Amino acid sequence: MAGLLLIVPGFLSDIAGLALLLLPPVRSRVARFLERHVTVVKPGSTRTYPGGGPVIEGEAIEVGPEHGPNSPPPSLP
């Protein structure tokens, strides 16, 4: 009985959500919201980053646990 009481509200909210998305005014508002807030990036296309600043390429050096925040930086190879 307890499991049923946990499952029923989920089904009811799913049904209500699907019913709302089937209504044209709600569906168009959701579509407009998604168009404003979601960016689709196609494979192979160039990326634009928030802020529009340049992308600076560099190299990273992996620092092991023996180097804490107060130890001197490792020497470059």
Structure tokens at 27: 């569906």
Contact at 8 Å (CB) between 21 and 27?
yes
pLDDT mean over 30-38? 89
Residue type, 14: D
> Sorting pLDDT into bands at 50, 70 and 90, what band is 32?
very high
**pLDDT tens-place string over residues 10-23:** 888 888 888 888 88
**Gap between the Cα atoms of 48 and 42, Å rounded:** 12
Structure tokens at 24: 């044209």
Given the structure tokens 């807030």, which residue do they identify? 37
